[in-house]
Amino acid sequence: MLRKPHCWTHTFDCGNLSIRAAPELSALHTPRKPPMRPFLLFAALLFSGAVFSTRATAELQERPNILWLVSEDNNPFLGAYGDTFANSPTLDKLAKQGVLFERCFAQPVCAPSRFALITGMHSVSCGPAGHMRAQGKIPAWLHGFPSLLRAAGYFATNNAKTDYNSPIDPAQTWDESGKSAHYLRRPDPKQPFFSVFNDETTHESCLFPAESPVDGFEPTPPHKVRIPPYQPDTPEIRADWARYYDRIRLMDSHVAEKLEQLEKSGLAADTIVFYYGDNGGVLPRSKRFLQKSGTHVPLIVYFPPKWRHLAPAAPGSRISDPVSFVDFGATVLSLAGVKIPDYIQGRAFAGPAKGEPNEFVYCTRDRMDERYDMIRSVMDKRWLYIRNYRPDLNYVQPLAYMFKARGYQSWARVAREGKLTTETAMFWGEKPAEELYDMSSDPDNVRNLASVEACRTTLERMRAALLSHTLAVVDNGFIPEGSALEGYDASRRPGAYPLERVVELANLASERNPIHLPRFIAALEDNNEAMRWWAAQGCAMLRERATPAQPALLKHLGDASWPVRLTSADALARLGQWDVARPIFEEGLAQTGVGAVVLQTANILAQLGEAARPVLPAMKAAIGTDASERQSEGNRAEQYAKRYPKDLLTHTVDELEGRVQRLSYPSRSDKK
């Protein structure tokens, strides 16, 4: 029998919500005045019509407080979501007294996901924000939505994540942001607040070997956990599942502490509480991937009796309409009575400005850390459609950070041993161009129905929904990273980015059918960089079947665009033309001051594997020996931009010189 943690001793009442929690609360600093709001910000908000006239204090008191409790990297492994193995009493109680959203979907990794939360916009609207660790080029008028709450009289705090994948300024967004930020520090105790607390208990790193065990609980027995069919049943994966359930139990107790603190402060009756996970879980084939296991997150919203008229449904209700993170900012503004700006791409799901339910929600994957990929997905209440724009790239790439987890290491071992089943091999090796899953009958997403004739109507409907969304948000993911076309303003400049034509060409490229080669050869002469880039990618993905394109590819080794130049060299290298490709790669590795060029070169060489051996000396030279470069000053995106190429090149060199084993991949029957 599992014992309760010894610290749970008090009972408190949050409206009608009774939860047990820890009595020990950390001391808070003396309240201080919030930083002065920049005049330019206020002027911009006033000009946009977002600022309401000043309210009297009595009127401000009649607005709800809003509290976000965020757990990192977890799926809905909670009793409230039907997981009978989970031990989550606090969140289960919150769900019984609040509203549970059965289909909340997030971006599959933190920084693009947080971009959507802070802006109410899809990260791919402001390239390169769709990539992990990047600086999205946002329009000058875009600020984090909490600044609109501040202008309307709210006190806004963030504890403590600010990796927004963009230059959004925390000082303009929050009254307080950092480890000590707290709603109890507001200067006027009657001032309404919006506060965010991020709990890192369930973060991916909790599965790394150096992590200590969870205190206060009996460990979850690994032999009792359910291993989904897409994962191999290895001791390491069982241990990861067991540990993850332990961490969820611990996170649940932290939520209880936050709710007790709210109650003891006398603010519970006036506070709407959101609990959600910031992106999909961290067990293999979850975080970073667009299957349901990578994007489905818990969302529970509790409305105290005073504010239940703002709720979308009665206490204890379960809402099946899909929602996503672009809806969160709109919803908070709606609950606070603040006008939702037109630029926000989401819909409020509660409050007076509640919109019509979403029919579809959308997720994206682009570069994850040091390795590129490009995947898009769309979901409704039942179906999940995935479009792989780089199906030639293996689903599992050996990302340095991801492969710290023993589960991934054991999966690679099973793959090398040739012991993968049909289901566990689906996530290993190259990808089909399209995937379609029935999330109701196949929640593990192991039966791809994209080629099933009976599902063709559904496939076409989901495909059309994705295309419509791609055009509506001006998806910048079809632009090579580092291009002048990237960014909200640049990509929307008339005539600069012919997105409809680009998407059509990208769809043909992802099919890997040589019948389209004449289209690629013709598109190589297009005036637009994105068109030429996708034409070259189409040739590279065809490999030896692209032989007729050699003259055109040779011509573009001198293209003005580095991505086009490199991808043309990639296609020629795959045709055995190393004498002309090698100088391009060596020159690319030397472009240390030209945006993403070195990283793009390193990715191509990593994919070429043993064939890239002629460039080995240039790779070693590009890695260098100055370790201080990894600790360079600047923002996180700049730091990672220098680190990622070196990490990837080091791994590739180690593979070529036999210090690490290259991942082995099984053949796939559905590969085109």
Mean pLDDT of the chain: 90
CA distances from 515 to 509, 520, 542 (A): 11, 10, 10
Residue 626's pLDDT band, with cuts at 50, 70 and 90, is very low
How far apart are the C-alpha atoms of 487 and 473, rounded to whole Å? Answer: 12
How far apart are the C-alpha atoms of 513 and 545, rounded to whole Å? Answer: 9
Any bridge partners for residue 378, and if so which?
A: 362, 385
| Whether residue 479 has pLDDT greater than 90 | yes
Across 238-248, average pLDDT: 94
Q: What is the pLDDT of residues 280-300, one digit of tens each?
A: 888 999 999 999 999 999 999
Across 408-436, average pLDDT: 94
| Whether residue 391 has pLDDT greater than 60 | yes
Radius of gyration from C-alpha coordinates of the chain: 25
Across 635-662, average pLDDT: 90
State residue 10's pLDDT score: 34
Q: How many CB atoms lie within 10 A of CB 236?
A: 20
Q: What is the pLDDT of residues 7-53, one digit of tens each?
A: 333 333 444 444 434 333 333 433 333 333 333 333 343 333 333 33
State residue 62's pLDDT score: 87
Least confident of 340-349, 362-371, 622-631: 622-631
**Residues annotated as catalytic (active site), given as ranges:** 110
Any bridge partners for residue 301, and if so which?
A: 99, 274
- DSSP, collapsed to helix, strand or coil, labels residue 383 as strand
| Whether residue 451 has pLDDT greater than 80 | yes
Residue 452's pLDDT band, with cuts at 50, 70 and 90, is very high
How far apart are the C-alpha atoms of 301 and 530, rounded to whole Å? Answer: 42
Q: What is the pLDDT of residues 65-85, one digit of tens each?
A: 999 999 999 999 999 999 999
| Whether residue 667 has pLDDT greater than 70 | no
State residue 625's pLDDT score: 52
| Whether residue 415 has pLDDT greater than 80 | yes
CA distances from 56 to 52, 65, 147, 209 (A): 12, 16, 19, 55
Across 497-501, average pLDDT: 98
